[in-house]
Amino acid sequence: MANLGKALADQLVATAAQLADAAREATLLHFRAEGLTADTKEQHRFDPVTVADRLSEERMRAILARLRPDDGILGEEFGPVAGTSGLTWVLDPIDGTRGYLSGTPTWGVLISVADGTGPIYGIIDQPYIKERFEGGLGRAEVNGPMGHRVLKARSARPLTEAILFSTFPEVGSAEEAAAFRRVASKARLVRYGMDCYGYALIAAGQIDLVIEAGLQTYDVQAPIAVIEAAGGIVTDWQGRPCPQGGQVLAAANRAIHAEALALLNG
């Protein structure tokens, strides 16, 4: 599947753009809307899902059923669809539903297409500010309020000069949180709560690291494609590929990745 051919690659990119456009419209119908409520998927903690999450994924699935009926689908809100083409679309209709509920513009829509080895193309889209990051299949670019730019991750710098992001201060288990703090204590600046936008900022050359745990397949595949296309690296905390999520270390370059990896492992 690695050598798709230009015609198929162009078709996948065009399909992904249609999915992202449909998800933009669906999510903005309810963003900052009065009376927006959320159900929770878990009882022991607030893991919200809204009508916008479901509508966004429904509309993307409808497009795929029409344009790419032989491809598989793995989405956050509805059951997986088996495919016969060897390609699977991985969809997170709103990554950062807590931020969406709060009215912050740092949530996003994650769209990727994967073969048997992992993601080959991905989009991180922020509908409210109309900023779209894409990577893979020969592309590494962002289009948004500042126009069109090529994505290029930051060059190497010591951890003491680095910017580190994570979604939650309480990263994973107690052991995972302790490992995270070993890295955070060395970084110049640590920020929280960006969800998928933090990964986009690595690709854009703004920050150096994102470290998280407990992620799902649909949380990571689009960021992996975008960051790797921009020259960065994404692995688990042992340096292995992580297309199924779990512990994730995303870095702007191999030097800062190696420094963070050593601290994560004590």
Round to whole Å and give the CA distance between 164 and 189: 6
Question: Tens of pLDDT along 166-187?
Answer: 998 888 899 999 999 999 999 9
Q: Are 216 and 109 contained in the same domain?
A: no
* Nearest Cα to Cα of residue 227 among 165, 153, 118, 150: 153
**Cα angle 58, 234, 77; round to 5:** 15
The answer to whether residues 67 and 188 belong to one domain is no
One domain, residues 231 and 208: yes
pLDDT tens sequence across 112-171: 999 999 999 999 999 999 999 999 999 999 999 999 999 999 999 999 999 999 998 888
Whether 117 and 231 map to the same domain: the answer is: no
* Residue 1 within a domain: no
- Residue 35's pLDDT is what? 84
Whether residues 102 and 138 share a domain: the answer is: yes
The answer to whether the beta carbons of residues 196 and 108 sit under 8 Å apart is: yes
* Residue finishing a domain among 104, 123, 150: 150
Q: Are residues 83 and 163 in the same domain?
A: no
Residues 258 and 133 grouped into a single domain: no
Q: How far apart are CA 237 and CA 243, in angstroms?
A: 13
Segments in the chain forming alpha helices (H): 6-28, 51-67, 97-102, 174-184, 196-203, 217-229, 254-264
Of 150, 167, 192, the residue at which a domain comes to its end is: 150
Per the structure, the complete domain to which residue 170 belongs is given by: 159-264
The one-character DSSP state at 156 is: P
- Establish if 91 belongs to a structural domain: yes
pLDDT number for residue 45: 67
Rounded to the nearest integer, the mean pLDDT of the chain is 95
pLDDT of the residue at 1: 45
Do residue 126 and residue 40 come from a single domain? yes
Give the SS3 label for residue 24.
Answer: helix
Domain total in the chain: 2
pLDDT digits (tens, 9 = 90+) for 33-57: 988 888 876 667 666 899 999 999 9
The CATH number for 114's domain is 3.30.540.10
End-of-domain residue from the set 96, 124, 150: 150
Question: What is the spatial distance between Cα 250 and Cα 260, in angstroms, rounded to a whole number?
Answer: 10
Whether residues 143 and 177 share a domain: the answer is: no
> Do residue 142 and residue 166 come from a single domain?
no
Domain harbouring 242, CATH code: 3.40.190.80
Query: Contact 26/118 with Cβ under 8 angstroms?
Result: no
CA nearest neighbour of 224 among 147, 117, 148:
117
Based on the fold, state whether residues 76 and 172 are members of the same structural domain: no
Cα–Cα dist 23/142, whole Å: 17
- If asked whether residues 35 and 63 sit together in one domain, one would say yes
